[in-house]
Structure 1
Amino acid sequence: MGRCLRFRNFLWEILKEVCLVANVLILNPVSGGGYIMEKWPEIKRSLQGLDYTTVITDRPGHAEEIAREAVNNSAEYVICAGGDGTLNEALQAMVGTHTTLVPISAGTGSDFIKSSPLDAGSITGLIRDHRKKRIDCGIVRYQGGERYFLNILEIGFGASVMMRVNAKKNSRGGNVFIRSILREIWDLKYYEMVVGLSHGTEDMRATEIIIANGKYFGGGMKASPDSVLDDGMLNVHIIKDIGMVRMLAGLSSLRNGRYVKKKTVRNMVLKNISVGGDPAPVEADGEVLGTTPAIISVVPESVYVLSDS
């Protein structure tokens, strides 16, 4: 019996080398204000020689539907050409499965891939060599539901910034984030929060809470310099009520991650955190979800991603 099982596994490995299991390419045509259409020739070149089926999204939530069908049909790889929002939709169907997520940057920010970079020219080879790894994701339970996130979740200021960014449908890159940040600083708010930590709850006044699995947000700003995608933890950065002038003065340190060393920022590494108090907006992977109260937890080693490391 054992010999038969080993032979069957051997045949399966050989078959995978000869004929890849069906791969699905999810293409979001409105990512980055349509930038993906400019990038399409490069995307095709990066997938040259790979057998895949292309499905174009045409509505919010469609990428999740496509990914779920791909998983149900035992697709080995789901390739997402879009931004962090497209990745986030696909993630909802892929957590806890053996299907591997392949991100291709083509969105407004495309920040997750900066923490797990792929050389576009090597994607086909990496897929053929089955180069993948398991990483963590987070889950947030909030007013209205629950959702996984792959990169970063924000409560407060950053979520308000994302409302402005997402309203600018034809923009992409860091400049749209900077402009939105400046506008939001002008209307800066703080929140009286009740934060649940491992040792109990604390009352605090804060402008922003960043809960990070990846390192980058806002089109390349280093939100969480020490975050690691597969350490089974979330890095938390709480920005206190610092006022408009100090917020403006600290923008350069937000770009390079040095802001975490300031006395006005509290840094923690946790598995779970809850946030209540004043209702504050919540965004995950660039998508605004709702408001607090919210409970956020890490889901260790829960999703496969293509990797060259």
Structure 2
Amino acid sequence: MAELLAIYNEHAGSAGDDARNAALRTLRDGGADVVEAPAGQKDLDEMLDACPGRDVVVLGGDGTLHVVVATLHRRGELGERTVGLVPLGTGNDFARGTKTPLDPAEAARIVLAGRPRPLDLMVDDEGGVVVNVVHLGIGAEASEQATPLKPVLGRIAYSVGALLAGVRSPGWRLRVTVDGRRLDGGRKVLMVGLGNGITIGGGTPLTPRARPDDGMADVVVSLATGPLNRLVYALHLRRGTHPTLRDVVTVRGREVTVQGEPVPVNADGELTGHVGRRRWTVVPGAWRMFA
């Protein structure tokens, strides 16, 4: 019998109690012994301490998955517990990139099947982790604009936030290096994206060729800082054709460093403030997910 710890945030995402209960019912009907752990009711470390050795099922979105994986990484338990995902968030970008079903019962059945898939993790020099995508610049600025709009507009808030940021942002002076190679050419940078997954903001394919298990980060650097160029970039970004633009650089690598003017950062859908320097390193096969 599978022994699972089901972690969810009662106040996050757009899915209601019915969807969460459908997933939990599917897990229990499939023979799993499930302990429910509403995040916020107790400290996550306390929940994990109370259920040693249990695999973890995240019933939530990218933010909840990020917190759980980051906590397991900090505790040194990523190699001991396999993680399942029932996507109940607003964007569900990591689920889309790994082809995890968005239907709660279907996703729960994948957990019951019990087939662990090794996945990569990006770890930064401050101890933070990235499960899906981290991006800096205009995309993170758009997220800042979208955050207060999400409760009312849902996924549409991302588009409104992107529009507001696109009108206002002049770009940042940043030095971007991948495995020692500089990519910015001394020009202002509009956006930097590092993808383990593919999409951000509920389906925008920032790093369309990324794979979460190839030991590499897909890196996108946009130098499209002029008003018209910003608009062209935004239109192509939504379709995933931005790598074809002349002022967009795409490479793959294992270590990425960004430094320069303080720039907003969004990791797995969560805003982490403005930074002047940050380095990310890919750790291949750092965790396992039911897939």
Q: TM-score range by the shorter chain?
A: 0.7 to 0.9
Shift of 1:244: 2.8
- What is the alpha-carbon distance in structure 2 between the residues aligned to residue 87 and residue 127 of structure 1? 15
Q: Residues 163-203 of structure 1: CA distance to partner in whole angstroms, max 9, x if unpaired?
A: 22233351465311101100111211311112233345463
The question of 1:230 aligning with 2:202 is answered no
- What is the alpha-carbon distance in structure 1 between the residues aligned to residue 153 and residue 88 of structure 2? 9
Task: Provide the residue aligned with 1:168 in structure 2.
Answer: 149
Task: Provide the residue aligned with 1:148 in structure 2.
Answer: 129
- What is the alpha-carbon distance in structure 1 between the residues aligned to residue 26 and residue 99 of structure 2? 14
Task: Provide the residue aligned with 1:30 in structure 2.
Answer: 11
The question of 1:109 aligning with 2:91 is answered yes
Counterpart residue identity of residue 106, structure 1:
L
Task: Provide the residue aligned with 1:14 in structure 2.
Answer: none
- What is the alpha-carbon distance in structure 2 between the residues aligned to residue 66 and residue 216 of structure 1? 32
1:57-206 matches, cutoff 5 A:
57-58=39-40, 64-65=44-45, 68-69=48-49, 73-75=52-54, 77-95=55-73, 96-119=78-101, 120-141=104-125, 145-171=126-152, 173-201=154-182, 203-206=186-189
The question of 1:267 aligning with 2:247 is answered no
- What is the alpha-carbon distance in structure 2 between the residues aligned to residue 178 and residue 86 of structure 1? 22
Change (3 A) 1:38 1:63: farther
Counterpart residue identity of residue 245, structure 2:
K
Whether the aligned pair in 2 keeps the contact of 1:26 and 1:66 (CA below 8 Å) is no
List gaps (5 residues or longer) in structure 2. none
Counterpart residue identity of residue 10, structure 2:
P
Whether the aligned pair in 1 keeps the contact of 2:121 and 2:131 (CA below 8 Å) is yes
Whether the aligned pair in 2 keeps the contact of 1:80 and 1:87 (CA below 8 Å) is yes
- What is the alpha-carbon distance in structure 2 between the residues aligned to residue 211 and residue 305 of structure 1? 20
Q: Residues 88-115 of structure 1: CA distance to partner in whole angstroms, max 9, x if unpaired?
A: 0001133442211111111121100001
- What is the alpha-carbon distance in structure 2 between the residues aligned to residue 158 and residue 63 of structure 1? 31
Change (3 A) 1:172 1:285: farther
Shift of 1:232: 0.1
Partner SS, residue 71 of structure 2: helix
The question of 1:278 aligning with 2:256 is answered no
- What is the alpha-carbon distance in structure 2 between the residues aligned to residue 74 and residue 173 of structure 1? 36
The question of 1:258 aligning with 2:255 is answered no
Change (3 A) 1:274 1:67: farther
- What is the alpha-carbon distance in structure 1 between the residues aligned to residue 239 and residue 130 of structure 2? 23
Question: Which stretch of the first structure deviates more once superposed, 286-295 or 258-267?
Answer: 286-295
Aligned residues: 280
- What is the alpha-carbon distance in structure 1 between the residues aligned to residue 43 and residue 237 of structure 2? 31
Partner SS, residue 15 of structure 2: helix
Counterpart residue identity of residue 127, structure 2:
E
The question of 1:296 aligning with 2:280 is answered yes
- What is the alpha-carbon distance in structure 1 between the residues aligned to residue 243 and residue 203 of structure 2? 16
Whether the aligned pair in 2 keeps the contact of 1:157 and 1:189 (CA below 8 Å) is no
List gaps (5 residues or longer) in structure 1. 1-18
- What is the alpha-carbon distance in structure 1 between the residues aligned to residue 59 and residue 251 of structure 2? 33
- Identical aligned residues as a percent: 21
Change (3 A) 1:265 1:93: same
The one of 39, 43, 48 equivalent to 2:23 is 43
- What is the alpha-carbon distance in structure 1 between the residues aligned to residue 224 and residue 264 of structure 2? 16
The question of 1:53 aligning with 2:53 is answered no
Shift of 1:45: 4.2
Q: Residues 199-252 of structure 1: CA distance to partner in whole angstroms, max 9, x if unpaired?
A: 454633201000110011111111111101100000000000432333223333
Partner SS, residue 161 of structure 1: helix
- What is the alpha-carbon distance in structure 2 between the residues aligned to residue 135 and residue 229 of structure 1? 6
Whether the aligned pair in 2 keeps the contact of 1:64 and 1:91 (CA below 8 Å) is no
TM-score normalised over the length of structure 2:
0.87
Shift of 1:254: 1.4
